[in-house]
Amino acid sequence: MNLKEIMAIAGKPGLYKMIAQAKNGIVVESIIDQKRIQAFTHDKISTLEEISIYTESGDKPLREVLRKFYEKLDGKTAPENKGDNNKIKQFFADMLPEYDKERVYVSHMQKIISWYNLLLNHDLPELLKEEKAEEPVADKVEADKSEAIEDKPVKDSIKKKATTTDKTETVKKPAVRKKTNEDPK
């Protein structure tokens, strides 16, 4: 499972994973209590892979932010501090010092902290660990493709560029009535 499969739905608490495609939406399952509900097409649904945090140097993907939390907290849960905004800001500044203090609100911080704890408490810490095997596999596939292309002889007919002809399109203008100044006497 990866963060592309984990979703946040606006107006609904917690995180969800996609189960199936429905006629007018998708069927999702809550990570908290495994209840299935239908998320309709008019709901605002975001995968955790799509979400990023504003930083002073640009946007940082949520995956990297959650990994930083995991590394700095040594795999332990984060304190939620729901009542104290100053403690939340201080904790977030300790975890991600380069976050944009003007555009990242306390509500965003609370949401990220609760998502981190939710993923950690529901046996999904493998999502927060580094992925090491993906990059070499992609490089190997690219190398195999380039070798396969070089091995095949290229025909002369493929080498020739297709000629393009300039076709001028005539645009018809709508007919315009002329006004007459005749008196109907």
- Give the model confidence (pLDDT) of 31-82 as tens digits: 989 999 999 989 999 999 999 999 999 999 999 999 899 989 988 888 887 7
- Domain membership of residue 18 as a residue range: 6-47
Q: Is 91 within the bounds of a domain?
A: yes
Q: What is the mean pLDDT of residues 1-16?
A: 87
Please indicate, yes or no, whether residues 84 and 107 belong to a single structural domain of this protein.
yes
59 touches 53 (CB < 8 A): yes
Q: Is 103 within the bounds of a domain?
A: yes
Structure tokens at 72: 């700095």
Whose tokens are 């990059």? That residue is 135
pLDDT interval class at 125 (50, 70, 90): low
Domain termination site, one of 127, 155, 179: 127
pTM above 0.85, yes or no: no
Q: Is 111 within the bounds of a domain?
A: yes
Residue type, 62: L
Whose tokens are 């596999």? That residue is 137
Domain with residue 122: its CATH number is 1.10.10.1650
